[in-house]
Amino acid sequence: MNNELKNLWNILRITFGIVPIVAGLDKFTNLLVQWDKYLSPQLQSMLPFSSRIFMSVVGVIEIAAGLILLKFTKLGSYIVMAWLVSIALVLITGGMYDVAVRDIVMAITAFVLAKLTDLKEQTA
């Protein structure tokens, strides 16, 4: 893999590692956004606990996904991709189609990172 592709791979790797960690940490502080507003009323009514607790669990998962991606990029990319698709599905149930589309695009980009990691490993 040439240097330019390695640089692009690193940009994606760092982005998809750090962003879930920051978003996960923010689930505990709500400094960036009030996260539970993205939960559909249908999902909230099915939870056996408060949406705050649910978002804390989500935060832990996101932090773990980011850390896994930074250490094991290919595996982490697939985890982040699946997580983003699941978030998009939740957003769709709440009628937040614009944000869901954004998460689907990010999921596709995480998939591209996994495939770039394959190429990187094949050329190493």
What letter does residue 95 receive in the DSSP assignment?
A: T
CA-wise closest residue to 77 among 122, 115, 104, 103: 115
**How many domains are there within the chain?**
1
Mean pLDDT of all residues in 25-53: 91
Query: Using an 8 Å Cβ cutoff, are 112 and 12 in contact?
Result: yes
For residue 41, what pLDDT is reported? 85
For residue 68, give both structure tokens.
């896994």
User: What is the per-residue pLDDT across 42-74, written as a single tens digit (0 to 9) for each?
Assistant: 888 999 999 999 999 999 999 999 999 999 999
- pTM listed for this prediction: 0.90
Phi/psi at 88 (nearest 5 deg)? -60, -40
pLDDT, the chain, mean = 94
According to DSSP H, which parts of 1-124 are helical?
3-29, 41-46, 51-71, 73-93, 97-123
For residue 119, give both structure tokens.
């190429």
pLDDT above 80: residue 124? no
User: What is the per-residue pLDDT across 67-116, written as a single tens digit (0 to 9) for each?
Assistant: 999 999 999 999 999 999 999 999 998 899 999 999 999 999 999 999 99
What letter does residue 34 receive in the DSSP assignment?
A: -
